[in-house]
Amino acid sequence: MLIQESGLPVNYQFKVSSSNKVIIPLGEYAYHKPGLWVVCRPKIDKITLTVKDLDPDLQNLVQANLIAAEDEKGPYTSAPVSKKAPYYQTRALLTHEPSGQNALIEAKPKLPGAAFLRMEFNPHKLGKAGISFVYSHLLALLSGAYFLHELLPKVRVTRLDIAVDLIDVPIQDVHVTYGNGGKTLAYFSSVGQLETLYVGKKKSGPAPGYIYDKKQQLLDNGQPLVFKNVSHARVELHVKSSRPLVKLGTLKNPLNKLTVQWPLAGPSLDLTPHHWSHFLDSVRLRGLQAALSLISDGVTRENYAIGFKKGCEENHIWDAQKLWGMWGEVVHGSGLLP
């Protein structure tokens, strides 16, 4: 139900139980299934921006400005040394106090051919005001050599983390696969509760996609729950890119690479909840076809195959096309392209 409160933005309100309601701002809402779940629109959870083509004299000035800013009192502090990727000579954290978020700014790469200037931050948590703050300091590091509208066409996106929140969705019931194969890595709590599932993992580099228990992560970090005491799963996709920032809104849909399923057992198939849960655990561990192959009786095996397919179709939770249809609004509403 969409509700309008006087003087306030339109919100989506859905009922979790007789005594608990969760309010989702319309700007975050994507679609829902009444009485079961809500899917939020995509958000940019992390972005890496680079600037490569700068005059050599300007490069020296930028590095000197970054070192000087780090030494002075103010919003800059020293960035922790990264043992895994010590690729830049000069690194500093720029803190936006209202949001409590940091932007990592790096200059002068150690590797030949790398972009001279690199930035990394969380656009969603920084918000428009925070991104404007980062841009203003970036222009200051460049000593006024560019106006923002002149600089942004030179900025490229090299990494993008896209997140989609699934509300009132228990992570242990959701199955995620990645289109290009790779390994699946699962992490469980001390009591056997699934907390994180990585998919598409190759021999090197991070897994391109994963789903994790966002509610549990917030609890573990002592942070307030975003959606009260309701199950909150988050799907994330890491996208490697070499795209101009000004063309970020035209990015092709990477969400198609993920398949997210929450199959509800079809009651007409007479599959007991006890056996169905064991079967879903087997699917998560082995994959669907291998899990089905363990069922020796042909009729029973066919019933479980039908049940899984029907359960996914009736509870169609992942609509990559509908989600990506909101991408242009997400980019232009983020503040990355003022």
The answer to whether 241 and 159 are in contact (CB under 8 A) is yes
Instruction: Per residue of the chain (338 residues), give pLDDT as tens.
Output: 443 333 444 577 766 655 567 888 888 899 998 888 999 999 999 999 999 989 999 999 999 999 999 888 789 998 887 666 668 999 999 999 999 999 999 999 988 889 999 999 999 999 999 999 999 999 999 999 999 999 999 999 999 999 999 999 988 888 898 987 788 888 888 888 888 888 888 887 788 999 999 999 999 999 998 888 888 999 999 999 899 999 999 999 999 999 999 988 655 566 677 788 888 888 877 888 999 999 999 988 998 898 899 889 889 999 999 999 999 999 999 999 98
Q: What length does the chain have?
A: 338
Whole-angstrom distance, CA of residue 60 vs CA of residue 52:
13
Q: For 88, which DSSP code?
A: E
3-state SS class at 117: strand
Question: DSSP letter string over 175-196?
Answer: EEEETT--EEEEEE-TTS-EEE
